[in-house]
């Protein structure tokens, strides 16, 4: 139910998301742990509003945005009364008792906006503002001459499941709750209640009969009849059996009705509370009684940033959503889940024909030190020549193995340990200490230094020979050799090793046990006849290779392999410990080679992929106490910018839709 409510609130906010606001940053509560700024000025600087209107018309936006029976009188987003060329803000506030989700959008013409609202929707005055509520009053939309205020709230289950809160507000318990009692499962830890007060008439248990007791009495009055065992000597009375089934079904129906009665009772109480909290919070926002948000980056959003978001106090945000109670009831422990994250921020940025999503993750001082050392590792320059410009894609992961193993126990203790000392936190601590004692970080780091490169050179159709079996009428089988054609990826994985002795010993055992086949120093792993990928292992000049192209590995071994790495690929691998890249222009040719059918409606778009740039994701080293990341795609040249190309592409997709 709570997820549904949150989706509805997000949906209500989303209806206004194509429209943006005068700068309302001063009305964003400073206590918000998440804020999203939408830069309307930047969006319509790069895109024509008329083109957006055509897309929205074809997709039925103007017909259905206010409901199927309430089509808008306009087909122009500029005539909806909302300023589309300024900044809008979406925010969330998380407390122990309620999750708020709100938004601020500007009004350029109040009368035009009000004309869009469904005629049957009741508009009431709250503190002098015209206001619309959802049916349960947990979502409120108010507006004045300049701003639309949206705020919704969802009750936090962990809070309302506490015994003291149930008692305070008269929440009823389901019978199933009693199952936990024999196991002595305590409730969640006490958390200070939300400071917002709502006028509340105390619930008097004498004024209404407890639904839980009613369900228990109903259960006592019903005698559940079981069918006699199959081997009973007496003849079964079919009528009696049918009666017992009907009686049992009737009991189940009664139990369900009691269950729903209790749920409805509890939901009505929660809705009254949440509605009061939402009203109080929004009244403070409108009156300016809140501390304003102080982010400099949100106040000075750049012209090429379409959106920018910031999330602070991440631990406070996600700790309310982790299933700690479930873990406690099943495993008997409640982990702290302390990853050391302090904040995360990011933006969608237009840079010519490139659209990128850039993010910044900030750690606390201790965790920043750990990750800085873990990602401080030199990438083997011998890998660069394998970054071929014709490769379909590649992945790099460059870690300092010694630092990783050194800090892993401390990280695990913080994440899986508990906030308070008890036997479970002590067990986690024992395992962490044992790991530190038993694991020789320096020795392992010599075997596996931590620099990894996986190259996907392509995907080809290969004819695979395998053994099958045919059976006669007496189930006697005969071995038959068959062939099949399958798409097989051509991959090559490599990593550095200063001590390959352990691999040499494993190879020796594998040969003796006939699990490996020696191809003159290149070792094939024996796999089933139906397996399409046959992996090979090569150790050469301090590098361990694993791939499925024997010819390429033989060329690497005898020194005849010739290749030159792509400069752009090499720069990405040099600067970033984590890189994932897909060579988009290679996709159309690959689909053709593999005879993969493409729907005619998508054929043009697929063919144009050959004009795209690469899609890539990178993660930088830790600088200071933060790590940067980027996900980017380069669109074809020819349009004004990446956003213009993307909107044109969407418009082409909507051409076949009915207006």
pLDDT of 274-318, one tens digit each? Answer: 999 999 999 999 999 999 988 889 988 999 999 999 998 887 777
Give yes or no for a contact between 27 and 629, defined as CB atoms under 8 angstroms apart: no
Grade residue 143 by pLDDT with cuts at 50, 70 and 90. very high
Q: Model confidence over 112-142: pLDDT tens digits?
A: 999 989 888 899 999 999 999 999 999 999 9
pLDDT of residue 525: 95
Tokens of 546: 């694993």
Average pLDDT, the chain: 84
Burial (Cβ within 10 Å: 0-12, 13-18, ≥19) of residue 229: exposed
Whose CA is closest to 90, among 7, 141, 151, 138?
151
pLDDT of residue 18: 42
**C-alpha–C-alpha distance, residues 492 and 339, integer Å:** 33
Grade residue 178 by pLDDT with cuts at 50, 70 and 90. very low
Whose CA is closest to 62, among 48, 47, 73?
73
Q: For the residues of 304-370, what is the DSSP string, one character each?
A: TEEEEEEEE-HHHHHTTTS-HHHHHHHHS--------EEEEEEEEEEETTEEEEEEEEEE-HHHHHH
CA distances from 535 to 489, 523, 548, 550, 651 (A): 11, 8, 5, 9, 45
**C-alpha–C-alpha distance, residues 596 and 592, integer Å:** 6
The lowest-confidence range among 94-103, 171-180, 467-476, 650-659 is 171-180
Three-state DSSP at 566 gives: coil
What sign for the dihedral angle of Cα 64, 65, 66, 71? Answer: negative
214 pLDDT exceeds 80? Answer: no
**C-alpha–C-alpha distance, residues 536 and 526, integer Å:** 9
CA distances from 117 to 49, 102, 132 (A): 22, 19, 10
Q: Model confidence over 561-614: pLDDT tens digits?
A: 998 999 999 999 999 999 999 999 998 888 887 778 877 777 878 888 889 999
What is the mean pLDDT of the segment spanning 30-55? 93
Global pTM value: 0.78
Q: What is the DSSP letter of 142?
A: E
Tokens of 602: 């998508």
Q: For the residues of 187-217, what is the DSSP string, one character each?
A: -PPP-PPPS-----PPP-TTTS--HHHHHHH
């Amino acid at each position: 139910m709570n997820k549904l409510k949150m989706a509805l609130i997000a949906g209500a906010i989303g209806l206004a998301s194509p429209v943006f606001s005068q700068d309302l940053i001063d009305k964003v509560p400073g206590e918000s742990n998440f804020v999203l700024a939408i830069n309307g000025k930047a969006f319509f600087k790069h895109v024509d509003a008329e083109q957006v209107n055509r897309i929205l018309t074809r997709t039925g936006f103007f017909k259905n945005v206010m409901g199927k029976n309430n089509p808008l009188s306009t087909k122009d987003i500029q005539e909806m009364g909302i300023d589309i060329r300024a900044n809008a803000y979406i925010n969330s506030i998380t407390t122990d008792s309620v999750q708020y989700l709100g938004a601020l959008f500007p009004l350029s013409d109040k009368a035009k906006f009000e004309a869009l609202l469904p005629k049957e929707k009741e508009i009431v005055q709250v503190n002098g503002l015209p206001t619309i509520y959802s049916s349960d009053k947990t979502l409120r939309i108010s507006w004045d001459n300049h701003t639309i205020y949206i705020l919704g709230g969802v009750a936090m289950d962990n809070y309302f499941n506490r015994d003291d809160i149930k008692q305070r507000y008269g929440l009823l318990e389901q019978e199933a709750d009693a199952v936990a009692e024999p196991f002595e499962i305590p409730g969640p830890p006490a958390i200070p209640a939300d400071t917002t007060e709502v006028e509340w008439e105390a619930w008097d248990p004498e004024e209404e009969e407890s639904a839980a007791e009613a369900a228990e009495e109903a259960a006592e009055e019903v005698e559940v009849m079981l069918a006699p065992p199959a081997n009973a000597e007496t003849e079964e009375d079919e009528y009696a059996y049918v009666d017992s089934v009907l009686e049992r079904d009737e009991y189940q129906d009664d139990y369900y009705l009691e269950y729903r009665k209790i749920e409805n009772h509890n939901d009505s109480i929660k809705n009254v509370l949440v509605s009061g909290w939402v009203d109080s919070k929004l009244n403070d926002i409108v009156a300016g009684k809140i501390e304003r948000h102080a982010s400099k980056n949100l106040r000075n959003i750049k012209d090429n940033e379409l959106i920018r978001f910031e999330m602070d106090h991440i631990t406070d945000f996600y700790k309310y959503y982790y299933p700690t109670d479930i873990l406690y009831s099943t495993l008997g422990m409640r982990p702290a889940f302390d990853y050391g994250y302090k904040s995360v921020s990011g933006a969608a940025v237009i840079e010519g024909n490139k659209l990128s999503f850039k993010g910044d993750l900030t750690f606390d001082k201790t965790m920043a030190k750990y990750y800085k050392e873990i990602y401080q590792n030199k990438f083997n320059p011998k890998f660069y020549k394998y970054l071929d410009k014709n490769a379909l894609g590649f992945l790099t992961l460059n870690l300092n193995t010694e630092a990783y193993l050194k800090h892993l126990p401390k990280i695990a203790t913080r994440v899986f340990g508990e906030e308070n000392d008890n036997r479970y936190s002590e067990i986690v601590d024992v395992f962490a200490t044992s790991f530190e004692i038993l694991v020789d970080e320096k020795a392992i780091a010599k075997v596996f230094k931590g620099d990894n490169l996986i190259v996907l050179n392509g995907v080809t159709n290969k004819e695979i020979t395998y053994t099958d079996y045919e059976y006669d009428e007496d189930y006697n089988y005969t071995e038959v050799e068959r062939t099949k054609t399958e798409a097989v990826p051509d991959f090559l994985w490599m990593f550095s090793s200063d001590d390959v002795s352990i691999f040499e010993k494993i190879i020796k055992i594998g040969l003796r046990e006939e699990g490996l086949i020696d191809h003159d120093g290149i070792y094939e792993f024996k796999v089933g006849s139906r397996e399409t990928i046959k992996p090979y292992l090569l150790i050469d000049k301090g590098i361990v290779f694993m791939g499925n192209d024997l010819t390429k590995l033989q060329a690497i071994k005898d020194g005849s392999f010739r290749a030159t790495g792509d400069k752009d690929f090499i720069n990405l691998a040099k600067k970033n410990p984590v890189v994932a890249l897909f060579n988009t222009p290679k996709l159309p040719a690959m689909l053709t080679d593999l005879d993969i059918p493409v729907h005619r409606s998508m054929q043009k778009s697929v063919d144009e992929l050959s004009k795209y740039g690469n899609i890539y994701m990178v993660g930088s080293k830790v600088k200071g106490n933060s790590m940067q990341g980027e996900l980017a795609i380069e669109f074809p040249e020819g349009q004004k910018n990446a956003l213009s190309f993307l909107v044109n592409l969407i418009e082409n997709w909507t051409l076949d839709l009915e207006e």
